[in-house]
Structure 1
Amino acid sequence: MFRNLLCACLAFAAVLAVSAPTRAASAYDIDVGVDATLDRFFANVRGARELANKSVGILVFPSVVKAGFGFGGEYGEGALRISGQQRSVDYYNTVSASVGFQLGIQERSVIIMFMTHSALEQFRRTAGWKIGADASVAVITVGIGGSIDTNKITSPVVGFILDPKGLMYNLTLEGTKISRINPR
């Protein structure tokens, strides 16, 4: 029993060490990652740019790292752009934790589009916005070379999850907490 508890504690400490950043990225570094992620998204998914142009705000996390061994943790930093602006207006981090069967490290990009002004304003005025509690995000799954039918999207907040190859995962964002940060 003691050995199992010790293993669980060591695994949890390893997850925290891998998923927590040693320092926050600079605003410039975050913006470079946001630009690259959006470029990859627009190049791989037909209709993505059109949907982005219809949105009132886009929150992009270029690199969200999830690590786990029984206990899991996830962390990433990103930026919010409003109404297709090329510059970021605010910076955020995303954090989540989980318990259950999991092993390894995974990296992904997350794009959240706010389709209504009220959804964007609720997000911006909520400290520590939690997906599932403060708002529901409809995760759209699209394969490589796929397309988005922008006329069928009716949710006020939609999300996309991309792996480094551009494929979409059929994952959830439930339980993810997003908070404003001040990068250096």
Structure 2
Amino acid sequence: MLIAPQVVKAGWIFGGSGGRAILFARNDQTGRWEGPAFYNLATASVGFQAGIAVSETVTLVMTDKGLNSLLATSVKVGGDASIAAGPVGAGANADVTTDFVAFARSKGVYGGLNLDGTVIHVADNWNRAYYGRDIQPPDILVRASAHNPQADRLVAALNRASSAKTSLR
């Protein structure tokens, strides 16, 4: 799960967006969440566009390919991995072959957030500052060889939410 609390998008013919994000990954064997690993988001675009918007996004990683792409140094969404907008409404279904499903809440003149074409790059300096040493996302998310107690409340909330048995009926 990639969480970007603030993504700013602006454009007038030429446009761009940027923000920071944290990634958590769920261990298939234990069911526990690991993380966070820190990332930067950046998009450049050209075309008929104008305005400014600020969004909060949550992007679910739906496939092993999607997670493996994020464990690399950088990934271009829409180029290296596919993305779809999150489903809306009762009975909505997501495309299960999509690598990422994104949900966004935006304010501003842009009605939504298009992450297609966004480059997601590991924020080595943030990971180093948070964990006190050079460390890569696979060490944090797969091997669980790093821990910072500052994330314990959020990890506990993710573990509770993913283990909750809910019914929509």
Partner AA of 1:140 in structure 2? G
Q: Cα offset for 1:141?
A: 4.4
The Cα shift of 1:60 comes to 1.0
2:84 equivalent in structure 1: 138
Please give the root-mean-square deviation of Cα atoms over the aligned residues, in Å.
2.6
For residue 65 of structure 1, give the secondary structure of its aligned residue in structure 2. Answer: strand
Q: Which secondary structure state, in structure 1, belongs to the residue aligned with residue 35 of structure 2? A: coil
What per-residue deviation string (whole Å, max 9, x for no partner) do you get for residues 1-44 of structure 1? xxxxxxxxxxxxxxxxxxxxxxxxxxxxxxxxxxxxxxxxxxxx
Answer with 169-178 or 98-107: which moved more.
Answer: 169-178
What corresponds to 2:141 in structure 1? none
> Quick check: 2:55–2:113 contact (8 Å CA) kept in 1?
no
| TM-score (ref. length: structure 2) | 0.59
- Which residue of 2 is the match for residue 157 of structure 1? 100
- The alignment status of 1:65 with 2:8, answered yes or no, reads yes
The equivalent of 2:23 in structure 1 is 80
| Identity within the alignment, % | 35
Quick one: distance in 1 between partners of 2:63 and 2:91?
18
Partner Cα separation in structure 2 for residue 90 and residue 139 of structure 1 = 23
- Alpha carbons of 1:111 and 1:104: their partners in 2 closer, same or farther (altered >3 Å)? same
**Structure 1 residue corresponding to 2:74, chosen from 97, 107, 128:** 128
Cα distance in 1 for residues equivalent to 2:59 and 2:36: 15
Report the residue type matching 1:120 in the other structure: L
Given the alignment, which residue of 102, 123, 131 partners 2:49? 102
Unaligned runs of 5+ in 2: 130-169
How many residue pairs are counted as aligned between the two chains?
A: 119
The TM-score normalised by the length of structure 1 is: 0.55
Tell whether 2:121 aligns with 1:175.
no
Q: What's the CA shift for 1:85?
A: 5.6
Letter of the 1:117 counterpart = D
Q: What does the per-residue CA deviation read over 1:54-93, in whole Å, with 9 as the maximum and x for residues that have no partner? A: xxxx011111001122211111001001128666331011
Letter in 2 for 1:90: A
Task: Specify whether residues 71 and 118 from structure 1 end up closer, same or farther in structure 2 by C-alpha distance, changes over 3 A only.
Answer: closer
Q: Which residue type is aligned with residue 130 of structure 1?
A: K
Counterpart CA distance in 1 for 2:112 and 2:51 is: 18
The code of the aligned residue for 2:50 comes to L
> For 1:89, what is the secondary structure of its paired residue?
strand
Letter matched to residue 139 of structure 1: A
Is 1:92 equivalent to 2:39 in the alignment? Answer: yes
Is the contact made by 1:128 and 1:178 (CA closer than 8 Å) also made in structure 2? yes
Q: Is the 8 A contact 2:53 2:107 kept in 1?
A: no
